[in-house]
Structure 1
């Protein structure tokens, strides 16, 4: 064979085949003994590749299974690219774009739920009915089911917009309805009974929670530099989720909260304990170190206090509901309450807390 044959370059005991596939110039090197028979076979192989490309039957991985390009081109073949591969690649691409807690949730959804069920399927094999069957069979809350589908929806959205698939089966799968829990705020007597069960840092933390409306994840991330006694407010900028500091849940969550008298008193009492040479306001009194996560507060402080006070258990989030209902009951403007809570508008206030808004006479 002529060493200068078009599309083929001989290099000792190997040869490089060049061809164009999907508008991309490709070059693949394969081992080849320096014999005429091997060279003739190489010409036939290239001709076969060109023929398969022209007829739309070319399988890159079949011809070059160890090629890096083959793995990339598989992503454009919905009949070959598996859902498991797509999910893993999507997760890897988003590692630096998302908060660690978000990546942890996505990883759990992908590796514990989606891949075991759909991982071996080719992209083209997924149908809406298969997803609906999965949702019907898995024993989880509707909210959790919807969250599990988020990575799968994102992957198929990308595939559709990149024109790798002609239709997105997830568009025919609606999120399941989630029942909203009614707020169960604490009354002033219950608040007093709970606070009487606490002392020191624990009392300051829970008192501040009741009278500031901050989420527990925002409470444990609050810094002294975010407290302004002169302006009588705290600046909510960060939250601590699963040991990691992050921005507030939403853009509107970044807010200035006016200090109610009881909240101000709690901070003044806390300042004596952690105000000197400390960044974080509230500490775990057992270690005198900042709280690692909000779950520890529920187990160590909240639940035992309610039990000792003889009060029916409600989760710590009810301190937010208590704060909102107190402000509204005394006639505060719903727009002001929405801002204090970190809502982007007052529609949620009306929807969730409407019965605490005094009716005009």
Structure 2
């Protein structure tokens, strides 16, 4: 090797070449046989690299596919960096600060929807029209579509803020409007029929759901230490989401709920089953353990009770709608009802339950 060949150092059966790319001094080792021909080819390779850098056509990954630097530099090349690589990298950087349920949602969106659809495209190839076309054919609710797009939005926003891309295609894709399902509250007669089909802990659970307005995640996380029966109140401080206990997401979610007489009765009756443990209020009578999620409640308690009572099926969330509509129908103030429900203001109450508010 010509000692005057700058940027090349021979080390036995390998050589190290060095060059500057994007202001960074790069050194890469290449195995070569100890022949003059191989050394000449290496010199030509270095010349080619320098020419490509000068003309803006250099692809680090093509020359050094196993280099750590190649991966880093690809992030700065939206014409080379794939959406799959970008999403996985984004998730790895952010997963430590995400709640478990959010991380599970993002994993589902990324690995079941975004990567299979867009993963092989480079960052620069994704357009707003491609996203909109895909969304129009995606067989799920508008809310679910918006949730699936969330990690893609956040990843592209990072690239834009880091000045790796000049335009963010997601800024031209608006979240689709959520279609609010019309509440179908149960009548008092229907509630009575349903509760007549239940006994013990199952009856206490469903009765409390009807007359407290709690979300199922809050219901199965309620602790005796947060119950004050004599003072007619409970405190909502946590929720049970996907197998994990976590504090409520918002200040409004963490709240004091005034006990209606029927809710108080349900708690009073439930004491003989779980009060001695002084922990979670409602247990699954089949396991004698706290409910893990809403699935066994729906499958083993709710659906059979409605069938036996001959009541048209509505999902368990309608117990919450029943609670709200009942309070409003008897003249309770919308703001107070919103506070009992855990809403930050009463706009949702007006929007969803407006027809149950008496006209003055």
Common fold: TM-score over 0.5: yes
Q: Counterpart of 2:95 in 1: which secondary structure?
A: coil
Give the deviation of 1:283 after TM superposition: 0.6
1:130-185 superposed Cα distances (whole Å, 9 cap, x missing partner): 11221222322322222222222222222222222211222222222332111111
SS, match of residue 256 in structure 2: strand
Answering whether residue 288 of structure 2 is matched by residue 288 of structure 1, we say yes
Partner Cα distance (2:130, 2:163) in 1: 22
Of the structure 1 ranges 246-255 and 306-315, higher mean CA displacement relative to structure 2 is found in 246-255
What's the counterpart of residue 21 of structure 1?
Answer: 21
C-alpha distance in 2, partners of 1:261/1:247?
27
Q: CA deviation at 1:13?
A: 2.8
Check conservation: 1:328, 1:358, Cα contact below 8 A.
yes
Q: In the aligned structure 2, how far is the partner of 1:247 from the partner of 1:17?
A: 55
CA contact (8 A) 1:3 1:10 kept: no
Task: Return the offset for 1:345.
Answer: 0.9
CA distance in 2, matches of 1:18, 1:231: 76
Does 2:107 match 1:107?
A: yes
- Say which SS state the counterpart of residue 28 (structure 1) adopts: strand
The answer to whether residue 300 in structure 2 is matched with residue 300 in structure 1 is yes
SS for the counterpart of 2:276 is coil
Query: Cα distance, 1:271 vs. partner?
Result: 1.5
Structure 2: gaps spanning 5 or more residues? none
Provide the residue aligned with 2:119 in structure 1.
Answer: 119
Could you say which residue in structure 1 is the equivalent of 2:252?
A: 252
- Aligned-residue offset at 1:278: 4.6
1:323 equivalent in structure 2: 323
How far apart, CA to CA, are the structure 2 residues paired with 1:320 and 1:267?
Answer: 17
1:188 aligns with 188
In the TM superposition, residue 341 of structure 1 has moved relative to its aligned partner by: 0.8
- Over aligned residue pairs, what C-alpha RMSD do you find? 2.1
Partner of 2:341: 341
Q: 2:234 is paired with a residue of what secondary structure?
A: strand
**Distance across 1 between alignment mates of 2:280 and 2:18:** 62
Partner of residue 274, structure 2 = 274
Q: Which residue of 2 aligns with 1:63?
A: 63
- Is 1:218 the counterpart of 2:180? The answer is no
Residues 81 and 123 of structure 2 are in contact (CA less than 8 Å); yes or no, is this contact kept in structure 1?
yes
1:171 is the counterpart of 2:191? no
Question: Does the residue aligned with 2:19 lie in a helix, a strand or coil?
Answer: strand
SS at match of 2:186: coil
Residue-by-residue CA offset, 1:315-338 (whole Å, 9 max, x unaligned)? 111111111112222222222111
Structure 2 CA distance, aligned partners of 1:9 and 1:335? 76
Compare 319-328 and 2-11 and name the one that shifted more.
2-11
CA–CA separation in structure 2 for the residues paired with 1:3 and 1:334: 85
Displacement after TM superposition at 1:35 (Å): 4.7
Counterpart Cα distance in 2 of 1:117 and 1:258: 49
Name stretches of at least 5 consecutive residues in structure 1 with no aligned partner: none
Output the TM-score relative to the length of structure 2.
0.92
Q: How far apart in 2 are the matches of 1:296 and 1:101?
A: 19
Summarize the Cα distance change of 1:251–1:92 in structure 2 as closer, same or farther, 3 Å threshold: farther
Q: How many residues align?
A: 360
Question: Residue in 2 aligned with 1:85?
Answer: 85
Q: 1:230 to 1:14 in 2, by over 3 A?
A: farther
Distance 2:10 2:322 in 1: 79
Q: Provide closer, same or farther for how the CA distance between residues 274 and 27 of structure 1 changes in structure 2, counting only shifts above 3 A.
A: same
How far does residue 272 in structure 1 lie from its aligned partner after superposition?
A: 1.2
**Which residue pairs with 2:152 in the alignment?**
152
Q: Distance in 2 between matches of 1:6 and 1:256?
A: 75
Taking a change above 3 Å as real, the CA distance of residues 12 and 195 of structure 1, as seen in their structure-2 partners, is: same
Task: For residues 263-283 of structure 1, give each alpha carbon's deviation from its aligned partner in whole angstroms, at most 9, with x where no partner exists.
Answer: 122112112101112521111
CA distance, structure 2, for counterparts of residue 62 and residue 171 of structure 1: 32
Contact kept in structure 1, 2:229 and 2:268, CA below 8 Å: no
Answer whether contact 2:61 2:67 (CA < 8 A) is retained.
yes
**Offset, 1:6:** 4.6
CA distance in 2, matches of 1:24, 1:203: 69
Counterpart Cα distance in 1 of 2:353 and 2:19:
66
Query: Contact between 2:225 and 2:278, CA under 8 Å: does it hold in 1?
Result: no
